[in-house]
């Protein structure tokens, strides 16, 4: 192998929202691949490793069994996990002549010659390195969880060349209606896309992965990715979105990111939203993604209200969140993990983790329900994941920091 390269989380990942509570920052997908998967493709010759919050160490080891996790390292290069991996090769090149690179006041790449351990001291050491500021050179590095939504199309267009190199596409697909820009539409031969579906790639590519089921009378508009084994319901309209593996999708979805194993099997609009794994959206659950006065949307997160400076932003739902039938989710609505939301009328702006209605979700019941839900998709709550969930339930303040 070549040089050692460590993808690391910052010492505080709270700004990246609830989707980072149960996974490494680099494991959040916003294109065909997560940033870790993308890094492995753009840096195929390096010894790639992961550093992250010690609380997640055993979960990370389960997710990445062939990867060094949080091990003491001799001389190595360090790359920030939130920086899109398409920047990694040029950052490594820059590090041949400088010790560290800083973007918006934060070190995003560094070269260390000495052995060092994954402890909070690591971040103090990074700040002491002589550095160059590259803030004016890159404008697509996410600082907040809502920033991932801005990367959907760029990530999909970058990732598709790797996907095409690894997968055959079905050139024999012959729809009843003409496809717009068929050269940008890529359908895996193991996908089942009805000839009665309408595909339009005018605004960006469409990638339909293996095992995806698309019935008749469905509209797919790019940029759009449908992950492996995802099933789309009759009459659905999907556009501008990244849909992960093994999702069930009905109704209208626009400009959103769905992590794997999301259930949205019924009608209702989800727009400009980020939906965590194992979320179930009750029938007619609908998000608001635009204020009536068309003003900037504010979110409540991390104990404070923040201005996103976005005109469009829907809901961000942490893993294992459930909504009741007819739920109306406010503009910029955010939940933590393991939330059962069944409030009448328009929702509040924020619901903390482990909330059941207006009360506290008992931890054993939360884990029991998660196990039952996951078993239906032949998945299970690992011992490491259960320990992590219990730790966050007892000490929620530890979820985001080293």
- pLDDT tens-digit series, residues 27-73: 999 999 999 999 999 999 999 999 999 999 999 999 999 999 999 99
Q: What angle do CA 159, 162, 168 make, to 5 degrees?
A: 120
What the chain holds in terms of domains, given with CATH numbers, is: 4-143 (3.90.550), 148-398 (2.160.10.10)
- pLDDT tens-digit series, residues 346-391: 888 999 999 999 899 999 999 999 999 999 999 999 999 999 999 9
Return the closest-CA partner of residue 259 out of 249, 248, 274: 274
Is the pLDDT at 330 greater than 80, yes or no?
yes
Return the closest-CA partner of residue 285 out of 311, 264, 302, 304: 264
pLDDT of res. 173: 81
pLDDT of res. 368: 98
Omega prior to 223 cis, within 30 of 0: yes
pLDDT of res. 65: 96
- pLDDT tens-digit series, residues 251-294: 999 999 999 999 999 999 999 999 999 999 999 999 999 999 99
pLDDT of res. 231: 98
Sequence-separated contacts (24+) of 205-208 with Cβ below 8 Å:
205/156, 205/157, 205/160, 207/32, 207/156, 207/160, 207/163
Residues 273, 289 contacting (CB under 8 angstroms): yes
Is the pLDDT at 114 greater than 70, yes or no?
yes
């Amino acid at each position: 192998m070549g040089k050692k390269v460590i993808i690391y989380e910052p010492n505080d990942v709270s700004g990246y929202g609830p989707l980072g509570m149960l996974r490494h920052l680099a494991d959040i997908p916003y294109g065909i691949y997560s940033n870790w998967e993308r890094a492995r493709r753009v840096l195929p010759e390096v010894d790639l490793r992961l550093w992250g919050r010690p609380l997640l160490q055993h979960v990370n080891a389960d997710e990445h069994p062939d990867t060094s996790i949080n091990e003491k390292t001799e001389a190595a290069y360090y790359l920030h996990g939130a920086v899109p991996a398409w920047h990694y090769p040029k950052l490594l090149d820059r590090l041949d002549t400088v010790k560290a690179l800083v973007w918006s006041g934060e070190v995003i790449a560094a070269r260390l010659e000495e052995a060092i351990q994954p402890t909070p001291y690591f971040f103090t050491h990074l700040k002491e390195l002589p550095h160059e500021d590259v803030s004016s050179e890159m404008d697509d590095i996410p600082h907040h969880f809502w920033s991932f939504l801005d990367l959907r199309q760029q990530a999909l267009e970058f990732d598709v060349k790797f996907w095409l190199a690894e997968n055959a596409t079905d050139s024999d697909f012959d729809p009843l209606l003409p496809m717009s820009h068929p050269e940008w539409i890529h359908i895996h031969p193991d996908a089942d896309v009805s000839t009665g579906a309408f595909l339009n790639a005018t605004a960006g590519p469409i990638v339909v992965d293996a095992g995806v089921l698309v019935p008749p009378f469905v509209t797919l508009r790019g940029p759009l990715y449908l992950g492996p084994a995802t099933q789309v319901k009759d009459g659905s309209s999907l556009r501008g979105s990244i849909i992960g593996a093994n999702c069930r999708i009905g109704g209208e979805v626009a400009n959103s990111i769905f992590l794997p194993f999301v259930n949205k099997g019924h009608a209702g609009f989800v727009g400009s939203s980020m939906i965590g794994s194992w979320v179930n959206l009750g029938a007619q659950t609908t998000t608001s993604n635009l204020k009536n006065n068309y003003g900037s949307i504010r979110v409540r997160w991390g104990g404070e209200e923040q201005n996103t400076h976005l005109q469009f932003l829907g809901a961000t739902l942490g893993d294992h969140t459930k909504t009741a039938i007819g739920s109306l989710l406010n503009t910029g609505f955010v939940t933590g993990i393991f939330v059962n939301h069944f409030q009448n009328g328009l929702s509040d702006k924020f619901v903390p983790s482990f909330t059941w209605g207006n009360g506290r979700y008992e931890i054993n019941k939360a884990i029991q329900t998660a196990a039952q839900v996951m078993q239906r998709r032949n998945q299970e709550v690992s011992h490491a994941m259960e320990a992590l969930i219990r730790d966050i339930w007892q000490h929620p303040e530890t979820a985001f920091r080293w």
